[in-house]
Structure 1
Amino acid sequence: MSAQTTIIIIGAGAAGLIAAKELSDQYKVTVLEARPQAGGRTTTHYPAPGIHIETGAEFVHGELPITLSLLKEAGIPYTPINGDMYLAENGELKQEEAWIEDWDQLLGHMGKAPAATTMQQLLDQYYPAAQYAALREHVSGYVEGYDLADLDKVSVKYLYDEWTLEQGTNYRIDNGYTTLINYLRKDIELITNQTVQHISWEPGHVTIKTQDKTYTASKVLITVPINMLQNESIQFSPALPAYTAAAKQIGWGTVIKFNLLFKQAFWKRDIGFVLSDEEVPVWWTQSENSLVLTGWMGGPRAAGSQTDLLERALHALAKIFNEPNTAELLDQGFVHNWSTEQGIHGGYSYGMPSSESAKAVLTTPVANTLYFAGEALYSGDSPGTVEAALHSGRETAHKIKSPQV
């Protein structure tokens, strides 16, 4: 390989692939991926003809400019999501607009909180446990389940900005996110099963070592999940202590996702999402005619290896829908524990009080030679999404094309 014209991108997720697409008109680009296939946290599974399930990212959360423009450019169809939101309580399903009592008051406190405040600190200040046990439980479930966050680490400002944002219509990609990944990776040199272990660098030259090969380039773009930088899974020489310290100021959560195909529907067809206090607390339907229910268990309780996951999911559904025969009605069950997934070990990032300053460090190129991108480094209205990864990858590609002197 010629180190004069080559850029190596580490990670074939959305950020790495869109960067490769943007850069390939000016540079020789090679993408190294630790896993057997591209896609990262966007991986569609096709268990039977006419059926697909998303093991990771599933939704297009609103009118997202990059995601939707790519889908249109590629001619990939997508469909608005319909269905109402329900709250499961005491064996009943109740349609709910807001499922946290005193929601408006809570948002008021959140909007006025100092920037350094965590959600745990805010709850302790305004909602003492003895008096507000139910509210604290609801908030905890939402923060951990939806944002995958630890209460004592997540920034109140981050949650406030996210919770008060009007996203508009949400969409699903008709044949799954993998169709978008396949479009992005077209004509890209991709080498899979290459786990990068060490990067030696000097201005204008890098040497990258995987478990069994060595690559050289003039620049490298690192798009691995933020926890890989936190854990120093890649060693840098010279070391980058300020970048490692910055990575540790960005939250990282995990999730277990369930896709259960049933022989018949035992739920109402107008249901979109169901929120509950069961062990697998969040469920949603697919299209009106689909026999798939998707479950979501996020945050600290989803970390590490788990046992009896399918049984626990069926038990949760039995209680939510008052249907004792969920196991007998199950046709196929797919359980995806992202905390144990090779090269990823988690779901997506969340904001901590120092995350924005940390992102400023990580998005600053090192000697116009080392660059970092990914959903965790995005600052905008769509955190933790594929759009965030695409935005970060494209923005960093533009930095590589127009380096700062």
Structure 2
Amino acid sequence: MKPELIIVGAGLNGLLLAYLLQDSYRIILLEGRPRIGGRILTVEEAGERFDLGPTWVWPHQHHIRHLIDALGLTLFRHYDQGAFAYDAPEGVQYFRTGKNAPSYRIEGGAGMLTSSLAERLGDVDIRLETPVRTIRSDSEGVTVHTDGEALRASHCIVTLPPRLCADTIAFEPPLAAAMREKMLAIPTWMGFSSKCIVTYAEPFWRERGLSGFATSHRGPLSEVHDASTRNKGALFGFYHTRSADDSQPERVIEQLERLFGAPARDYELFRYHNWRSDPYTSVPADREPLDAHPRYGMETKASERIRFCGTETSAEEGGYLEGAVIAAMRLAKALMEA
């Protein structure tokens, strides 16, 4: 009989671990949200899908690209032709740059990654709306306590962001002080972000010779990018890290009109997600803006029975989809070899 394994978190990392380990373990996958995907959040409108979480894949990221190929998914190049806009206090300025390094998006959105993995999870028991409160370990296994029950397994892997894990899950016996301190010091990638999508009948900015990319010190969005699909024009934007929780479209549309012209008023869909206030993503410490991409990576073995895994645990490409895949593949290989 296969040993039992509990995986906490049904984001890309947790789903990939379940996929890689399902032949070696009987797996229960616990997720606090009412959906799978974690920080991958793809919304659908009239058959078109748009990302409110991670968006891009780059050519050097071989692990995520291999996974995309293995799942039968398709990449397409992110549109970056034309001038970019700088939303300066004295007015909008437009610039042209040299050749940009290409970035790519997944046809159908990044959510295709997690839904495709979930479809391949044979007998894995996925339980949504099941946040974990306490993890107790002993010489024979672990007991994972949720709000409604206590689950027993031989091992447990926690794929939550390290800071969120240390802040919201109690461990008995407690984690080593140095490990807990390290986890609390690791910023949650996207934990400081709010993101919106605005869709249009067509990408009208391209006709004006604009790429859809803009930066701003005026706000409410600090960055804007083209998010169009094959059949629909779209722009997505990141809010300034210190902007108010603004889930209404008026100020965003006003800014897009300033950047790209009057057609920006004729939008079809506005969707918004504040990752800073998402209790299954971030803690209050994550709301502080980052000056640079964090140096990620940490020891993942809490004990013989408990491991940590996630994009922030990877020193290589930590924070990105690539980092999540690298971390999952390395841990799965180590467990199978052990």
Same fold? TM cut 0.5 = yes
User: How far does the alpha carbon of each residue in 1:64-117 deviate from its partner, in whole angstroms, 9 at most, with x for none?
Assistant: 22211111112111112232361324223222359xxxxxxxxxxxxxxxxxxx
Distance 2:306 2:323 in 1: 20
Q: 1:267-289: per-residue Cα shift (whole Å, max 9, x none)?
A: 13551522222311211112576
Q: Which residue of 1 aligns with 2:214?
A: 274
On the 8 A contact 2:3/2:153 being kept in 1, the answer is: yes
Which of 59, 63, 68 pairs up with 2:60?
A: 63
Matches within 5 A, 1:237-316: 237-240=172-175, 241-252=177-188, 253-263=191-201, 265-269=203-207, 270-279=210-219, 280-285=221-226, 286-287=228-229, 290-297=232-239, 299=241, 301=242, 306-307=245-246, 309-316=248-255
Separation in 2, partners of 1:355, 1:181:
26
* Contact 2:223/2:237 (8 A) holds in 1: yes
Q: Secondary structure, in 3 states, of the residue corresponding to 1:281? A: strand
Residues in 1 aligned to 2:144 and 2:291: alpha-carbon distance in whole angstroms: 30
Residue 34 of structure 2: aligned partner: 36
With a CA cutoff of 8 Å and minimum separation of 6, indicate the structure with the bigger relative contact order. Answer: 1
Pick closer, same or farther for the CA change 1:353–1:261 going to 2, 3 Å.
Answer: closer
Give the secondary structure class of the aligned counterpart of 2:249: helix
What residue in structure 1 maps to residue 104 of structure 2?
Answer: 171
Instruction: Report matched runs for 1:146-185 at 5 Å.
Output: 168-185=101-118
Whole-angstrom distance in 2 between the partners of 1:308 and 1:239: 39
Alignment of 1:87-98 (within 5 A): 87-88=85-86, 89=88, 90-96=91-97
- In 1, Cα distance between equivalents of 2:43 and 2:293: 36
1:226 to 138, 156, 162: 162
Structure 1 CA distance for aligned equivalents of residues 171 and 291 of structure 2: 25
Aligned residue type for 1:296:
F
Cα distance in 2 between the residues matched to 1:326 and 1:81: 20
Contact kept? 1:87, 1:93, Cα under 8 Å? yes
Counterpart Cα distance in 2 of 1:355 and 1:235: 26
2:185 aligns to what SS in structure 1?
Answer: coil
Match of 1:377 among 313, 321, 334: 313
Q: What is the aligned partner in structure 1 of residue 268 from structure 2?
A: 331
8 Å CA contact 1:249–1:355 kept in 2: the answer is: no
User: Residue 54 of structure 1 aligns with which residue?
Assistant: 51
Equivalent position of 1:163 in the other structure: none
- Secondary structure of the residue aligned to 2:151 is strand
Residue 355 of structure 1 deviates from its aligned partner by: 5.4
> Does the CA-based 8 Å contact 1:350-1:376 persist in structure 2?
no
Which has a greater percent of helix?
1
CA–CA distance in structure 1, aligned partners of residues 101 and 204 of structure 2: 29
* Whole-angstrom distance in 2 between the partners of 1:30 and 1:298: 38
Structure 2: distance between partners of 1:238 and 1:351: 36
The 5 A counterparts of 1:49-128 are: 49=47, 51-84=48-81, 86-88=84-86, 89=88, 90-96=91-97
Equivalent-residue separation in structure 2 for 1:257 and 1:200 (angstroms):
37
Query: Which sections of structure 1, spanning at least 5 residues, go unmatched?
Result: 99-166
For 2:20, the aligned partner's letter is: E
Name the amino acid aligned to 2:69: K
Contact in 2 for aligned 1:15/1:391 (Cα 8 Å): no
Output the CA distance in 2 between the equivalents of 1:248 and 1:184. 30
Corresponding letter in the other structure for 2:217:
D
Q: 1:353–1:225: structure 2 CA closer, same or farther, 3 Å change rule?
A: closer
Is the Cα–Cα contact under 8 Å of residues 247 and 272 in structure 2 kept in the other structure? no
Runs of 4+ in 1 over 6 A off after TM superposition: 346-354
CA RMSD of aligned residues (A): 2.8
Using the TM superposition, give the Cα deviation of residue 223 of structure 1 relative to its aligned residue in structure 2, in angstroms: 0.3
Equivalent residues of 1:60, 1:170 under 8 A apart = yes
Distance in 1 (alpha carbons) for counterparts of 2:49 and 2:93: 30
Letter in 1 for 2:18: A
User: Deviation of residue 199 (structure 1)?
Assistant: 0.6
CA distance in 2, matches of 1:65, 1:278: 37
Percent identity, aligned pairs only? 22
CA positional deviation for 1:298: 5.0
Match of 2:304 in 1: 368
- Which moved further from structure 2: 254-263 or 189-198? 254-263
The 3-state SS of whatever aligns with 2:143 is strand
Cα deviation for residue 290 of structure 1 reads: 3.1
Alignment length, in residue pairs? 321
- Contact kept? 2:199, 2:233, Cα under 8 Å: yes
